[in-house]
Amino acid sequence: MSRASNQSSLQAVIAELRRAAWPLVAFSAAINILMLTAALYMLQVYNRVLSSHSLETLTALTVMAVVALLALAILETVRSQLLIATGIWLNGRLSPVLLAASVEQAAGKRGNGGARTLRDLEQFGNFVTGSAIFPILDAPWAPIFFAAIFLLHPWLGWLALGGGIALFLLAVLTELVTREPVAHANSAQSKAYAQAEAAIRNAEAIQAMGMLQAMMSTWKPLQKAAAEGQATASLRSAVLAAAARFLRLGLQIGVLGLGAYLVVHAEASPGAMVAASILMGRALAPVEQAIGTWKAVVSARSAYQRLSGVAGARREEAPILPLPRPEGRLVVENVIVAREGGGEPILKGVSFQLEPGEVLAVIGPSAAGKTSLARLIVGAATAGHGRVLLGGMDVAQWATADRGQHVGYLPQDIELFSGTVAENIARFQELNEQSFRDVVRAACEAGVHELIKGLPKGYHTEIGEAGAVLSGGQRQRIALARALYRDPAFLLLDEPNSNLDRDGEQALSNALQGLKAAGRTIVLITHRSNMMESVDKVLVLQRGQIDLFGPRSDVLRAMEERARAATAAPRLGIVSA
């Protein structure tokens, strides 16, 4: 079992990132102090060397300046290496969290979140480790340069400070005028990505039914809207960046002009005039750079907000404390599952209980809630109300990695992963001598061992992405072996014979008989009557509610009586007429 902390996963990572940022802050402080080297060197040369004609002073100043610049280069290199190391750490720390959170959300919503969150992480990580982060690191030290200018002369200081405020206002204006187009562009791009991923997933149907052009007719406007939004934001940002550059260069000319005026009136030295120009350029550089990279800042912020929506909802977990193997007792207590977007709930107060070793068949018409119930039972979704207990433990509170080893699940939509047959059956756990024996045992129990031996490389056959080299029936039988891997205490099979031929159905029937004899608790979701021979109880769902539940013979008898009554009713109506 795992114990969630009070922090979300993203909050925990950001807290660690803040602690890791302190060395970057320290290096940035040293770098910005050393940036005063050129201005101080210029000031001393004008004030001391030119007036005294002392070559010894010039040599000493030059040596000190070169040493300071060398230290500056070393510190900048180290800071860049720290940023790169931080980016690698951030990716390694957060990408597993994001993938896990995306899988959990996609399972809960029965949707496909895709890999957008990993793209967002890459975008945010590139911002953190790229040049766009330097203005943020350097901006807090701008007051040092403004203070130095004030020390040279108050008039120069006020001019530089006024220019800094004007540049800051330009940065705020850049944020205001680019926020909306960037938001629209990101929204359209997300929808375009989602449509493209859906089209690629369903490529076979699209090609077979000639849907490509129709799909593109809805995809192109989204892609166009994304490109237009990015273009609008880029144009506005470029205009304001040009205005900021004009203002900064104008301010430097203004400082030189004002400095010259002060020199003429003997209120400042020539060195102060030149040094003030250098210092002001350095003080205003972070603001100007921020305006030039504002699009990257906005995009990184949007990516972070999307990451917060995924990882921000996932609690940081403590190390897993494994629970004992459950005995297989299943209790479903008044579960209610709301329909996304509102409307009538999918499941409405469903309750039942299975004892260890019992086999239950869940039947009912389409959209009765069978698959939603199955996903609740195995912990792939959570109920809005009620709970599901397996061996007395709430499956929603049981750590997935621990619970999963005791549960076998064959979903309605079979999905195998790129890798070998053995890796898929072993659920991609490490393969060694013992685990491979477990793989073979599961394949034999599923009746698929001989089929696998007939593949080109047997258990080491690469099945391709989504099991592309296998037929539908082969994928379903291998997925059944995956469900049986390491003898789980509980099994849920959703339409396990939907793609099987006669041999496959016979193998499935034999497997069920063996599992029942071994005392495994099994839930079957099926429409076929030939699966009823192996079940102990039957649950009939109608519109999200239990219509019938009980021993197989009682439920089937009740269904037959209803069928006879339904066929007799029209005849009675004709006779009475």
How far is Cα 238 from Cα 245, in angstroms, rounded to an integer?
10
- In Å, what is the CA distance from 428 to each residue of 78, 420, 446? 40, 9, 18
Parallel/antiparallel/unpaired status of strands 545-551 and 359-363: unpaired
Residue for token pair 């890798």: 419
Confidence of residue 574 (pLDDT cuts 50, 70, 90): very low
Which has more confidence, 439 or 499? 439
The rounded distance, in Å, linking the Cα atoms of 495 and 475 is: 13
- 314: amino acid identity, one letter: R
Provide the 3-class DSSP secondary structure of residue 59.
helix
Q: How far is CA 132 from the centre of its chain?
A: 23
User: Looking at residue 390, what DSSP letter applies?
Assistant: E
Contact indicator for 549, 351 with CB cutoff of 8 Å:
no
Give the pLDDT of residue 575. Answer: 44
Token pair belonging to 514: 């063996």
| Measured CA angle at 403 (ends 327, 370), to 5 deg | 85
Measured over the CA atoms of residue 31, residue 33, residue 35 and residue 37, the dihedral's sign is negative
**Distance separating alpha carbons of residues 172 and 190, to the nearest angstrom:** 26
Bridge-based pairing of strands 385-390 and 393-394 is: antiparallel
Q: What is the per-residue pLDDT for 373?
A: 92
Cβ–Cβ < 8 Å for 377, 328: no
Average pLDDT over residues 293-306: 73
Q: Report helix angle 270-292 to 212-264, nearest 10.
A: 170
DSSP annotation of 486: T
- Output the pLDDT for position 334: 94
Evaluate whether 554 touches 485 at the Cβ level (below 8 Å). no
Cα–Cα distance measured from residue 288 to residue 548, given in angstroms and rounded to the nearest whole number: 72
Residue of 501, 379, 327, 342 lying closest to 108 (CA atoms) = 379
The pLDDT value given to residue 330: 94
Give residue 84's pLDDT band: very low, low, confident or very high (50, 70, 90).
confident
- pLDDT mean over 444-471: 84
Query: What is the structure's pLDDT at 359?
Result: 92
Compute the distance between CA of residue 265 and CA of residue 277 in angstroms, rounded to an integer. Answer: 18
Among 233-237, 326-330, 351-355, 537-541, the range scoring the smallest mean pLDDT is 233-237
Average pLDDT over residues 56-71: 91
* pLDDT per position as a tens digit, 306-339: 777 766 656 655 556 688 888 889 999 999 998 8
Q: What is the mean pLDDT of residues 469-493?
A: 89
Percent of the chain at pLDDT > 90 equals 19
Q: CB–CB of 182/298 below 8 Å?
A: yes
For tokens 């990993």, name the residue: 118
pLDDT tens-digit profile of 171-182?
A: 788 878 887 887
Q: How far apart are CA 390 and CA 354, in angstroms?
A: 10
Which span out of 190-194, 314-318, 429-433 was modeled with the highest average pLDDT? Answer: 429-433
pLDDT, tens digit, for every residue of 390-401?
A: 989 999 888 888
For residue 539, the cross-strand partners are 362, 549
The answer to whether 183 and 230 are in contact (CB under 8 A) is no
| pLDDT tens-digit readout, 103-151 | 766 665 544 444 567 777 777 777 777 767 777 777 778 888 888 888 8
Each residue's pLDDT tens digit, 520-534: 899 999 877 677 878
pLDDT tier for residue 389 given thresholds of 50, 70 and 90: very high
Please state, rounded to an integer, the average pLDDT across all residues of the chain: 82
Question: For the chain, how big is the Rg over CA atoms in Å?
Answer: 35
The single residue listed with the structure tokens 């030119």 is: 50
Q: What is the mean pLDDT of residues 420-441?
A: 91
| Dihedral Cα 404, 407, 410, 414, nearest 10 deg | 10
Percent with pLDDT over 70 in the chain: 90
Q: Which helix (H) or strand (E) holds 408?
A: strand 407-410
C-alpha span between 257 and 264 (Å, rounded): 11
Which tokens belong to 183? 């938001």
Under 8 Å between Cβ of 309 and 298: no
pLDDT on residue 551: 93
Average pLDDT over residues 473-488: 90
Quote the tokens at residue 478. Answer: 């291998």
Q: pLDDT value at position 111?
A: 47
Of 195-204, 358-367, 473-482, the poorest mean pLDDT is in: 195-204
| Residue 358: band (very low, low, confident or very high) from pLDDT cuts 50, 70, 90 | very high
Q: In the prediction, which pLDDT does 110 show? A: 47
- pLDDT value, residue 576: 39
B/e letters for 515-528, b = 16+ CB within 10 Å, e = fewer, are bbeeebbbbbbbee
Q: Among 205-214, 245-254, 292-301, where is mean pLDDT lowest?
A: 292-301
Arithmetic mean of pLDDT, 549-560: 90
How far, in Å, CA of 389 to CA of 383, rounded?
Answer: 12
pLDDT tier for residue 27 given thresholds of 50, 70 and 90: confident
Write out the two tokens for 272.
Answer: 């102060």
Instruction: Report which DSSP code applies to 439.
Output: H
Token duo for residue 504:
């496959």
Strand order in the sheet with 347-354: 347-354, 330-337, 385-390, 393-394
pLDDT value at position 319? 59
